Amino acid sequence: MKYVTASITSISDDLLKKAQEVFADVQTDFWDVKKILSRFDEWRVSFQVSYSNLIGWNPLQVINGEDFEALPWYSAVERFCHGQGYEESKNMDKTTLPTIIEKTIVSKVQGFVELVWDPLSAQQSQTLTTLCKRIQDDYSVFDGEQSKPVKAFVEAVIQRLRSAVDNDVFVPLYPKKFLEDKRSPQFQFQNKQFWSAVNLLGNMALWDGLIPEHILKELMLEKLLGRYLMITVLNESDPKHTIQKCKKIADCFPKSWFIDLNTGSSLPQLQNFSKHLLQIAHAIFKDNNDSSSTRKLLSDVLFVLKNIKAHDSIRTITEKCKCEDLLKALQ
């Protein structure tokens, strides 16, 4: 036992000695942390513009249409990766720039996601997702086996979105007698909170293609729609307002979810949504089946169901309400 302990100690001492020798032939200015920081301080004092450009870049803001690719260091790295001139494609380094993007840019943006980004802000969410999609288009960092920095970034986005649903959304329920008066403070507050939640739904949809689809559907459909929005829609007494709300909700769903959907009943998570629209259509037709306003509302219902590919519900409405012409007009 003593021999083993002595052996481990010897190996450890040897590793520490070798570690100290790694920078043996390097000037102190480039291996001592305090010295390195002093260099950054000199840079900050002497070249404030370039220092601020790198350190102060905010991925949640667009200033004059510029982002990290407009910074001088990016141009220098890009020239390096292309070798001695862009025409020498055979000498092009195709891995260095994406690696730098992953380890520096993505990691920096992650900090903003965790500490600054407000998922309820349409401007911040649009700017952030536009940046991420361009990084994906240009460097494919989100494809295949993701690197550790990219995985950490995606997880940070998911956790921030999840936190927004759990902690930042509140849509109160009131007895219908308080909601019948559209000027009542109860109606005004519930309406404001509802549309704030719909805004978050749309912001979340911007992450389509960047975070796993099954997680995005969970957050948007099972949690935000199922937990808050549907309850409010079900509590709405005015069919016109109900259809308006359903239309705005459906407008938020990523189109990619429905491209290859060949079933007749839309997504499983949208069954209650489709069913309620079907019930609204039946109620409208039953109350006044000949008026132009009824046909307009039926047309709006069919429009929403068509966009989410709820073909079974569409078929039921057109057969019962005799409104095939409305469906043809939508096509």
* Together in a domain, 15 and 64: no
pLDDT of the residue at 63: 62
In a domain, 86, yes or no: yes
pLDDT of the residue at 4: 46
Q: Which of 146, 168, 190 delimits the end of a domain? A: 168
* Together in a domain, 73 and 142: yes
Count of the separate structural domains present in the chain: 2
In a domain, 190, yes or no: no
In a domain, 185, yes or no: no
* Together in a domain, 44 and 164: yes
* Together in a domain, 110 and 7: no
In a domain, 155, yes or no: yes
Cα dihedral 29/101/73/94 (nearest 10): 100
* Together in a domain, 156 and 46: yes
In a domain, 87, yes or no: yes
As to burial, measured by CB atoms within 10 angstroms (0-12 exposed, 13-18 middle, 19+ buried), residue 106 is buried
CA distance 331 to 320: 19
In a domain, 217, yes or no: no
pLDDT of the residue at 130: 93
In a domain, 99, yes or no: yes
pLDDT of the residue at 45: 62
* Together in a domain, 77 and 164: yes
* Together in a domain, 111 and 55: yes
* Together in a domain, 63 and 138: yes
CA angle 4/8/13 to nearest 5° reads: 145
* Together in a domain, 101 and 46: yes
* Together in a domain, 81 and 56: yes
Spatial contact of 318 and 327, defined as CB atoms under 8 Å apart: yes
Q: Long-range contacts for 212-219 (Cβ within 8 Å, ≥24 apart)?
A: 213/256, 213/257, 215/158, 216/254, 217/257, 217/267, 217/269, 219/158, 219/161, 219/162, 219/165
Model confidence pLDDT, tens digit, residues 105-124: 898 899 999 999 999 999 99
DSSP state of 259: T
Stretches where the chain sits below pLDDT 50 are 4, 30-31
pLDDT of the residue at 32: 58
CA distance 285 to 63: 52
In a domain, 139, yes or no: yes
pLDDT of the residue at 325: 85
* Together in a domain, 97 and 63: yes
Residue linked to tokens 């494919």: 140
Can you give the residue range of the structural domain that contains 109?
40-168
Q: Which of 168, 183, 209 delimits the end of a domain? A: 168
Q: How many CB atoms lie within 10 A of CB 159?
A: 12
Q: Which of 133, 168, 203 delimits the end of a domain? A: 168
pLDDT of the residue at 30: 47
CA distance 246 to 229: 9
* Together in a domain, 46 and 164: yes
